[in-house]
A and B are shown apart, each in its own frame.
Chain A
Amino acid sequence: MMSTMFKYLLCLSMVLSLIACHKKKTSWSSNWELPLVLDTLTLDKYINDSTLAVDASNYLEVNLTRTLLDIGIEDLVTLKDTTISQSFNIAASNFTVAPGTSITNQIEEHQINVEDLELKRIQIAKGKIHLKVYNPIETDVIFTIKLPGVKKNNVDFEQQFIAPMGTNAVPGQIETELDISDYTIDLTGAQGSSFNRIQSQMIVVTSPTGPSVTIQNSDVFKVDASFKAIKINYARGYFGQQILSDTLIERIDLFRKITGGTITTPNASVQLEVINGCKVNAQIKLTQIKSENAQGTQVNLSGGAMNQNVPINPAVGAWNNYTPSTQAIEFNSTNSNLNAYLENLGDAHTFGYLFQLNPWGNTSGGWDEIFQTSRIQLKLKAQLPLVVGVDGLQIRDTFDFSFQNKLESSHIEKGTLLIDFTNGFPYSAGFQLEFLNASDQNLFSIVSVGGIESGLAGFYNSTYGIFTQNSHVELTLTESQAQQLGEVHKIVVKGMFNSPNPANNQNQAFPIPEKAFLSMKAKAKITYQTKM
C-alpha cells in the first residue's frame, strides 16, 4: 500500500514540477555600429550628355538640348494598301481560238490613294505586291503582267504565270506575293505629266500545247495587283499644306519635390531651333509655352516669337548631299519674361506648336522632295552659365516605409544615424524627417543635428581645385520613436537649401565648379533588443 502511494506521489510531484515551468521570452540588448551608405554625388553624368558643359573657367554651364518634335518621310508621305485591277473580255461570243493565240495586250492607268498629296515619284523602302490572275476558259493561259514605270535597276517590273484552265463560273486561278523593296515608281502616268498614276499591262496568250477553245463575251480575264505594307524612303511631288500640331508636356521630377523658396538665374536665355531636312517650304507657330510648379502656379512664356508664324526655308542639295535649313527662335530676359518663367521652378512644361508645310501652296511646281534621312525637328536649346542662387529652397520627397518593430519580438530599441559629408557645392542644407502613419498623419519628426555647410565656407582643396567643407549630421531615433516605427508607412525627407555668401551670410547666386561633389558616409548606431 505504502509503495503504491509512494509511486503515485512521485509521479505527481514530477508532473507538477514540470507544469509549473512557464517559458518567458529570452531577451537581451546589443549595440551595433554598421556602415550604411558610402557614395559621392557629382554632376559628371550630366556633362556632355546634352545637359551640362564646362566653360573656360572650369565652371558648369547649362548646355541643354531636348528634341520636342521629330518627324520624317514616314509621317509626311504614306501609301495605304492599294489594289489595282485590270480585266479583259472579248466583244463577240462563240469565238474559237487556236492554241498559242494572243487574246489581249493592254496598258491601263490607275489612281493611287494618297489623299491631298500629288506624288510624282516614290521609292519603296520595303513592301510587297500580291498578284492574282483569273482564267475563265478551258485551256491553260499564259499571263504576263508588267508594271511600266515600276523599276528596279532600270528594268520594269514583269511577272509571268501559267493560269490553269477554268470555266466562266469557276475561273482557274493562280496567285503569288513578291517583294518589291527598292523599286522606284514613276507616278506621272503614260504621258509623263500627271501624278498619283500607276500603269499596268496585261498580256494573255492561250497555251501553245492546249486544245482550241471557244470564248464567250462573258469570259473575263483578270489580274489583281495589291500593294501591301509599303514603306517609302523617297518621295517627290507636292506634299500639300499638311498641318501638324500638338501639345507636349515635359516633366522635371526633381522640381515637383520643391515646396518653397526661390532661385535666381541671371543672364538666362533659351533657344527653340527648327531644323528642316526636307526640300519643302514650311512655317511654325509656337502657340504655348507654359510652366507649372508643384504649387500649381503657372507662368506662360510671352514675348519673343510666341504666337507668330516663323517661316522655315527648305533644305537644299540632292539626296546624298542635302543641307537642312535651320531657324532659331530665341527667348531671353530682354525679349521675354524668361527669368520669371525659369524662377517659377515648374515641374511641368507645356509646349504647343503648329507646323505647316507649303504655307504658300505649290510654289515648287511639284518638286518638293523628302529623302530617307530627311527630318523636321523642333529642339529646345539652352546654353547659359549654371549660376543659381537659392534662398530657403525646400525640397520634399516621400518614400514608402515598412518595418516590423514590435516590442514583443526582436526590435530596434533606439538608434542614431551619423553622416559625414564633404561638400564642394556652394549650397548649404539642413534636413528633417517626418514619419507618417497609414492616414498620412505625422507620428513624429526627427530634425538633423548639424547640417551640410556650403563648400564655400570651407577651405581650398588642392586635390580637386575647389573649396570644400566637412560637416557632421546626426539624426537620432529615441526609444519612444522606435516603438512607433511599426506604424510608419511613409517617411518624408525635407531638405532646406541656401546659397550663403560666407562673407555676409546673405544668399546669392554662385557658379558651380566642374569638380563640385558631395560625398556622404553614413553609419548607424543601433541598440537592438533580441527576443526569442
Chain B
Amino acid sequence: MKYVLAFLGIISFQLSNAQGLLPNGYDTSKRVHDLQLEGSAFIGSTGIRNEIMDRFIFGGEITESMKDRSLSSKATSYRMGAGTHVELTYRNEQAALFGNDKWGYLIKAGADYLGAIRTNKSIFGMLLKGNASYLGESISLNGTQFNFIGFQKIGFGLIHKKTHANIGLNYYNISDFAQGKISSGYLTNAPNADSISLATKGNFQYSNASFFTKGFGFGMDGALYLQINEEGHSPAILQLKVSNLGFACVSQKVQHADLDIDLHFKGFNFQELLSDQSALRDKDLLLDTIGVQTSTKTSYVMLPALIEIGKIVDQMNSKRLQAFYGVRFYPTLANLPLIYGGAEYRIGKHLHLGAHASYGGFTQFSGGMYLHYEGSKFNAGIGSENIVGMIYQKGFGQSVQCKLNLRL
C-alpha cells in the first residue's frame, strides 16, 4: 500500500509536465476486480508561451526576449490554467451490493491541484517587465480573477452493472485555497512616474494556516452512458460525466480582504515618513487608509467541478476507426468551455492510436495524440492534449496524461 501511496504522491507533485484526460473508452465487459490509476497534468494559456510557463513550473530565468515573445501575442485577454490530477479507483461489478444484483460498487481516492488566472496583457506585462514600460498608460484591472485549490478525496459509489453508469459521493480534504476577483479597477502610471493612481473594487481570500487540513467538503462524481442508434450507422456511445460537483467549507485562518481603493499616490510627506504615529508603521491602519478591509472568517466555495459531455470510443466496436468529440469545462474557474473532436485508429489487436483537436479551456487551438494498449488483464495509455506545446517552447500550453488499468 505504501508503494501505491508513494507513487500517487510522486505523480501528483512531480507530474507537473503532464495533465489532461485521455478520451474515455466505453468497455462493456464486466469488471470483477478492476484497479485503475490515472494521472494527468496540464498547463494552458492564451497568451503566455510555454517557455515562460515552463520557468514558472520547473524554474529558470525568464529573459527579456521570452517576455517580449509572450507579450507580442495578439490576445488581449490572458487566461492561464494549470492542474495536476491523480486518482486510484477500485471497481467491482461482480458483487451484489445490498443484495441487489444490478449494482456493483467502486471505491476511489485521489488528489487534485487546480489553478486558473484570467487577466489581460498589460497586467501580465507589468508584472514581468515592471511599470517602467507602462508609464503614461492606464491599465484596466476589470475582470481579473484567480482561483487555486488543492484537495484530496476519498469516495464510494455505485455502478449500474448493465450500463456501467456510476455515481459516487466523496469526502474532500481542502489542503490549499486562494481566490480573488477584481470587479472593476484601473491602475494608472503618470508619464514621468510622478504619481500612481489605483481605483479598484474586489476581494481576495486565502488560507494561511500552516496545517495540512484547511477545510472539508462533500461532492459527487458520476458518469452516464447513452447508446444512440442511428440507422445505417453503428451505435454511438454518449457519455455525460461529472467530477467534483459539490461544496467545501474552508474554515482555517481564511483571510478575507475587501478592496475599495481610490488612491492617487504622489509620494509620502515627511510627516508620514518620520512620525512614529504614521500609518506606514501600522499595517492594519495602512490597509484601512487605502481602502482595504481585512477579516478572518470561513469561506464556503464550490469545488472545481468538471463537466464533460461527448461521444466516446466504443472499445467493443469492431471498427478500426472511430470518431470522438465533445465539450467539457470547469464552471467555477476562469476558462472557456473546451470543444474537442478526434479519431481513434486501432493498430493490430491491442494498440490504439488517437488524435484530436480542441479549442477553448485555458488556451485556444491545440492538437493532441494518445497511444493506448488494451490487453485482457492490463491496459495502459499515455498521451497529450497539446502535442505541439510538448515539443515547441513557443507554444501555448502543455499536457501529459497516463492511465494504468489492471483487471485482477
A interface residues (Cβ-Cβ under 8 A, vs B): 3, 7, 10-11, 14-15, 18-19, 21, 23-28, 30-39, 41, 521-523, 525, 527-528
Closest 5 CB pairs of A and B: A24-B59, A38-B267, A30-B130, A33-B193, A18-B14
Given A3-B377, A19-B14, A28-B67, check contact A522 B267 (CB 8 Å).
yes
In the bound complex, CA of A14 to CA of B400 (Å): 12
Main secondary structure of the interface of A (DSSP, over half): strand
- Enumerate chain A residues within 8 angstroms of B15, measured Cβ to Cβ: 18
- Enumerate chain B residues within 8 angstroms of A521, measured Cβ to Cβ: 194, 267
In the bound complex, CA of A527 to CA of B132 (Å): 10
CB <8 Å contact, A18 and B132: no
Inter-chain pairs besides A15-B10, A27-B55, 19 sampled, C-beta below 8 Å? A11-B7, A27-B60, A28-B63, A30-B127, A31-B129, A31-B130, A33-B131, A33-B132, A33-B189, A34-B193, A34-B196, A35-B193, A35-B195, A35-B267, A37-B273, A39-B267, A521-B267, A523-B193, A523-B267
Given A3-B378, A37-B269, A523-B267, check contact A15 B7 (CB 8 Å).
yes
The winner among A3, A11, A30, A523 for most chain B CB atoms within 10 A is A30
In the bound complex, CA of A473 to CA of B343 (Å): 69
In the bound complex, CA of A522 to CA of B63 (Å): 30
CB <8 Å contact, A39 and B269: yes
Of the residues A26, A27, A30, A38, contact of B266 by C-beta under 8 Å: A38
Given A35-B196, A35-B265, A38-B269, check contact A30 B61 (CB 8 Å).
no
Q: Does B289 interact with chain A (Cβ within 8 Å)? A: no
- Enumerate chain A residues within 8 angstroms of B309, measured Cβ to Cβ: none
In the bound complex, CA of A37 to CA of B274 (Å): 12
Nearest B residue (CB) for A418:
B193
Interface string of B59-92 (1 = CB under 8 A from A): 1111100010000000000000000000000000
Of the residues B58, B62, B270, B378, contact of A28 by C-beta under 8 Å: B62
Of the residues A23, A26, A522, A527, contact of B62 by C-beta under 8 Å: A26
- Enumerate chain A residues within 8 angstroms of B59, measured Cβ to Cβ: 23-26
- Enumerate chain A residues within 8 angstroms of B269, measured Cβ to Cβ: 37-39
Nearest B residue (CB) for A41:
B270
Of the residues B266, B270, B380, B402, contact of A35 by C-beta under 8 Å: B266
In the bound complex, CA of A525 to CA of B60 (Å): 25
- Enumerate chain B residues within 8 angstroms of A523, measured Cβ to Cβ: 193-194, 267
In the bound complex, CA of A149 to CA of B7 (Å): 104
Given A11-B7, A27-B62, A32-B131, check contact A37 B268 (CB 8 Å).
yes
- Enumerate chain A residues within 8 angstroms of B67, measured Cβ to Cβ: 28
Shortest C-beta distance, A112 to chain B (Å), equals 49
Q: Does B11 interact with chain A (Cβ within 8 Å)? A: yes
In the bound complex, CA of A221 to CA of B194 (Å): 89
Q: Does B249 interact with chain A (Cβ within 8 Å)? A: no
- Chain B contact residue count (CB 8 A cutoff): 44
Shortest C-beta distance, A474 to chain B (Å), equals 14
Q: Does B135 interact with chain A (Cβ within 8 Å)? A: yes
In the bound complex, CA of A35 to CA of B195 (Å): 6
The winner among B17, B135, B194 for most chain A CB atoms within 10 A is B194
CB <8 Å contact, B61 and A28: yes
Interface string of B1-22 (1 = CB under 8 A from A): 0000001001100111100000
- Enumerate chain A residues within 8 angstroms of B194, measured Cβ to Cβ: 35, 521, 523
16 A-B pairs whose Cβ atoms sit less than 8 Å apart in the complex = A7-B378, A11-B7, A23-B57, A24-B60, A26-B55, A26-B60, A27-B60, A30-B129, A31-B130, A31-B133, A32-B131, A33-B193, A34-B131, A36-B268, A37-B273, A522-B267
Q: Does B25 interact with chain A (Cβ within 8 Å)? A: no
Total contacts A-B at CB 8 Å: 101
Q: Does B128 interact with chain A (Cβ within 8 Å)? A: yes
CB <8 Å contact, B56 and A26: yes
- Enumerate chain A residues within 8 angstroms of B190, measured Cβ to Cβ: 35
Nearest B residue (CB) for A24:
B59
In the bound complex, CA of A33 to CA of B129 (Å): 11
Q: Does B375 interact with chain A (Cβ within 8 Å)? A: yes
CB <8 Å contact, B195 and A525: no
In the bound complex, CA of A272 to CA of B195 (Å): 50
- Enumerate chain B residues within 8 angstroms of A18, measured Cβ to Cβ: 10-11, 14-15
CB <8 Å contact, A30 and B193: no
Q: Does B404 interact with chain A (Cβ within 8 Å)? A: yes
- Enumerate chain B residues within 8 angstroms of A527, measured Cβ to Cβ: 130
In the bound complex, CA of A34 to CA of B270 (Å): 17
Nearest B residue (CB) for A524:
B193
Nearest A residue (CB) for B15:
A18
Shortest C-beta distance, A446 to chain B (Å), equals 19
- Enumerate chain A residues within 8 angstroms of B130, measured Cβ to Cβ: 30-33, 527-528
- Enumerate chain B residues within 8 angstroms of A24, measured Cβ to Cβ: 58-60
Shortest C-beta distance, B236 to chain A (Å), equals 31
In the bound complex, CA of A26 to CA of B127 (Å): 14
- Enumerate chain B residues within 8 angstroms of A25, measured Cβ to Cβ: 59
In the bound complex, CA of A323 to CA of B77 (Å): 82
In the bound complex, CA of A223 to CA of B244 (Å): 92
In the bound complex, CA of A10 to CA of B14 (Å): 16
Interface string of B40-64 (1 = CB under 8 A from A): 0000000000000001111111110
Nearest B residue (CB) for A14:
B402
CB <8 Å contact, B268 and A28: no
Of the residues A15, A28, A31, contact of B132 by C-beta under 8 Å: A31
- Enumerate chain B residues within 8 angstroms of A528, measured Cβ to Cβ: 130
- Enumerate chain A residues within 8 angstroms of B267, measured Cβ to Cβ: 35-39, 521-523
Shortest C-beta distance, A73 to chain B (Å), equals 37
Shortest C-beta distance, A517 to chain B (Å), equals 13
Nearest B residue (CB) for A522:
B267
In the bound complex, CA of A3 to CA of B379 (Å): 10
In the bound complex, CA of A19 to CA of B10 (Å): 8
